[in-house]
Amino acid sequence: MKSLIILLCLHSVIAYQTIIDVLSKDERFEKLVSHLQKLELVPMMNELESGTFFAPVNAAFEKIPDTAVSRESLLYHVLKGKGIPSTDFYHGQLKETLYDGYLGSDAQRIKMTVKGHKVYVNQAKLIETDIQVNNYTYIHAIDSVLELPKLLGYSIRDINPALDELMQKADIIQLLKEKTPFTVFVSTKKEPLGYYNDIETAYLMSKHGKTDLSIFLKYAIIDKAIYLDEFTSGKTTYKSITGDSLTITSTKKGEASVNDLAITQSDILAANGVIHQIDDIFKPNSLIFNTRKYLYGLNATNMVQLFDNYNLSHYIDQANTNYTFLIPPEDDIPLPPLPAASWLEYHVIQGYWSQDTLVDKKLLLTEFKSAELGDKRQRVPVYTENDGKKKPSILFDHARSLGDPVSIQNSIIYKISEPLTLPGDFLSRLVVDLDSSTFIATLYVSEVVEEIKSTPGITLFAPTNDAFKELGLVAKYLVHFSAKPQLQSVLRYHAAKKLLYEEDMKSKTHEVSTLANSTLRISPDDQVIHVGRPDDSLTAAIVNKPNILVSNGVIHKISKVQIPSDVQITNQQVLVGIEANTLMTILEKAELLNLTQQDNTVILAPTDKAFTRLDVQALLEDPYQLERIAKMHMVSATWQDEWTSHESSTVTKLKKLLSFEYPTLLSLADRVTIQQTEKGEWVVQVKDSDQQAQILGFGRTSANGGIILIDSVLMPVRRGIFGLPFLWSLFVILLMIALIGGTISVCGFFGYKVYNRRRLGYRPIF
């Protein structure tokens, strides 16, 4: 009975002790008591009927300046509610303190950590536990003063400096310094943007990507404090401040994850919330990249600015249509007002063209619809060069593709070495082509340049210099002032009033109207494209260089000049064109000029210089000789293509020399031979004479005849009897006299013998 009374007395003594009473009796807590007194916390501590107090020993206060001890910091050492003995502590345990902080209705928490036999509260180690004040109050001595939790805006740097830097850039840190509760999931990855490629990362780190960077960072923030120690097992879905769903899953084993990413460390305390570490990186579905963002990431900001300035933003903001973008270097992009919207649209190609789908010399449709093309889309040529490497070299017009293209949504972006240039007018394009100089000259002479330039959607077939060279003397006539109407018709005949690119011409035969109001036929034959009159396939040209793009159409270079059927070029006109004035005078004086217009007639036209070797005045006064010389230069012959064929210009040992013999209008006996020398040159040889003239040029005319320009006048051979040359005639006469004289002599001799025998009385004996 006495023992029971003693125990009850002891219990009463213990029950009425306060925390201050117990601390005051222990020298280890002198400094703590002193701070409690200074901060006027003694009355409050004495009024506590129950609680848990983590009491720093004197040595703990020596680690910090006195100014670091505040009323709030000491309240942070006191737990709410019934006292907790050390046996009830467990790893990761959270408990509310008397310090309210910025958690709304909740107070700030401390976190218990158990490492083996050691127990920590926050960063302080428990050095003595279970100092009982009464049945409901315990003091636990600790070796350090507990630091007040920092705001989230200051806490993240300690966990992941790289993430903190991103938050600084996106102004998220300022949000996390607000005095309102948040939960932040912080990745421990050193590269927080590691799941994004270099272009996406560059965009997010640029000033243009600040909003999306903010979305990426805010995805991991919930606007309430969620402590996993207080989280029951199972799944709970929360909304991040971006509106995205974050599902926290916790198991009875203490494992936790958020959106299937493991939480490696939970409940890192902060003044305005809590941090949970994750071992991976979120990739928000709400963060969507498009062409605009990729262009920013590629540092093509000037290009983006142009799209915006010209109200063409839909090209880089939409995701439903396929485009191929050609992006020049940033420094080479001219800023407004220099480029036009058409220039920008010319850098946007219809469709998604990856490297393996590009075909050499293909024309790609751009987004630029040109009024000069009849509201058709302008095209850009692509060239692929494969030098044996795995990846071919690609050029868009003259701009080389740099590096690998980049795909984004349904589009692809090529960085190119220089800006594209819109096709200019046809004249500016051809004037730099040395192989088209003759064509350019005829255009100027004809005065049809403006007509061709102003015609929308045109296909121009441009003969090469060799084509005009093959035309020969006819070309000289066409540039003569008297031939201007015909030259205009010829040139207009080369301008089709329809856009025809190489792939169009190879697909089928086309008969198109031209500016000359005549029909031109374009027909494919295997890999060759023929261009010519529908009624004359023999004179058709071959397209030898297609698809030269110009502002109002396309140019194809061809091998022959095409002359429409309504343009009839006569021998007389060519003689005028080559200024064979002396021959014209002779033909007119001899009244033979009309014969030059006959079909299948070839005129051998000596130059005026050749006639200086003759007394032309005397010739004009000699009608007989005048007619003979005139007819000597008129040949009844069908024009031969071999005369002007490129294949016959060079003779090899394997080829036979070409030779053609024709009668002249002078007589069937007066013939000429048009033949080829071993050097490939052509000459005219007068039969039965050593006369030979060098041929200086050919010109085929419409009546299947033509003009052959020669360097010498052909003189008729002087003929005697039987139409033979004079000397041969004299020889024949003398020979006939000799034969007749011999015959008479023989006959006279035998006649005399017979007569003499009869006179002498000789008789035959029978």
CATH number assigned to the domain with residue range 426-558, chosen from the 4 options 3.50.50.60, 3.20.20.70, 3.30.365.10, 2.30.180.10: 2.30.180.10
pLDDT of residue 727: 55
Q: Please give the CATH architecture assigned to the domain spanning 2-142.
A: Roll (2.30)
The DSSP 8-state label assigned to residue 132 in this structure reads E
**DSSP per-residue codes, 519-534:** EEEEEEETTEEEEEET
Taking only the tens place, the pLDDT of each residue in 486-508 is 999 999 999 999 999 999 999 99
pLDDT of residue 237: 94
pLDDT of residue 7: 42
pLDDT of residue 391: 74
pLDDT of residue 335: 64
Q: Among 172-181, 186-195, 712-721, whose mean pLDDT is lowest?
A: 712-721
Q: Are 432 and 398 in contact (CB under 8 A)?
A: no
pLDDT of residue 658: 77
Would you say residue 337 has pLDDT above 80?
A: no
Q: What mean pLDDT do residues 153-169 have? A: 93
Q: What mean pLDDT do residues 687-693 have? A: 90
Q: Are 214 and 171 in contact (CB under 8 A)?
A: yes
Chain centroid to Cα 423, Å, comes to 15
Q: Among 252-256, 408-412, 499-503, whose mean pLDDT is lowest?
A: 252-256
Q: What mean pLDDT do residues 314-338 have? A: 86
The DSSP 8-state label assigned to residue 209 in this structure reads G
CATH of domain 291-416: 2.30.180.10
Give the up-direction half-sphere exposure of residue 258: CA atoms within 13 A in the CB hemisphere. Answer: 33
pLDDT of residue 496: 97
pLDDT of residue 29: 94
pLDDT of residue 476: 93
pLDDT of residue 108: 93
Give the up-direction half-sphere exposure of residue 192: CA atoms within 13 A in the CB hemisphere. Answer: 25
- Residue spans of the domains in the chain: they are 2-142, 152-278, 291-416, 426-558, 571-717, 723-766
pLDDT of residue 254: 78
- The CA distances from residue 237 to 219, 230, 260, in Å, are 13, 15, 12
Q: Residue 273 forms beta bridges with which residues?
A: 182, 270
pLDDT band at 338 (very low <50, low <70, confident <90, very high): low
pLDDT of residue 739: 78
Q: Are 494 and 460 in contact (CB under 8 A)?
A: yes
Taking only the tens place, the pLDDT of each residue in 583-620 is 999 999 999 999 999 999 999 999 999 999 999 899 99
CATH topology of domain 152-278: FAS1 domain (2.30.180)
Same fold, 291-416 and 426-558: yes
Q: Are 31 and 61 in contact (CB under 8 A)?
A: yes
Contacting residues for 38 by C-beta, under 8 A, at least 6 apart? none
Q: Are 129 and 119 in contact (CB under 8 A)?
A: yes
Nearest to 222 by CA among 270, 181, 186, 174: 181
pLDDT of residue 656: 54
Taking only the tens place, the pLDDT of each residue in 366-381 is 999 999 999 999 999 9
Would you say residue 680 has pLDDT above 80?
A: yes
- The CA distances from residue 203 to 120, 413, 592, 594, in Å, are 44, 15, 87, 83
pLDDT band at 253 (very low <50, low <70, confident <90, very high): confident
Q: What mean pLDDT do residues 635-647 have? A: 80
Nearest to 665 by CA among 704, 632, 622: 632
pLDDT band at 101 (very low <50, low <70, confident <90, very high): confident
Read off the pTM.
Answer: 0.80
Mean of the per-residue pLDDT values for the chain?
A: 89
Would you say residue 749 has pLDDT above 80?
A: no
- Could you tell me the CATH superfamily of domain 571-717? FAS1 domain (2.30.180.10)
Would you say residue 109 has pLDDT above 70?
A: yes
Q: Are 103 and 273 in contact (CB under 8 A)?
A: yes
Would you say residue 651 has pLDDT above 70?
A: no
User: In whole angstroms, what is the distance from residue 628 CA to residue 227 CA?
Assistant: 125
Q: What mean pLDDT do residues 431-440 have? A: 92
pLDDT of residue 104: 83
pLDDT of residue 765: 53
Q: Among 55-59, 725-729, 757-761, whose mean pLDDT is lowest?
A: 725-729
pLDDT of residue 755: 66
Q: What mean pLDDT do residues 388-414 have? A: 90
* Residue 330 structure tokens: 């940033």
Q: What is the share, in percent, of the chain residues with pLDDT greater than 70? A: 90
Taking only the tens place, the pLDDT of each residue in 268-296 is 999 999 999 998 999 998 899 999 999 99
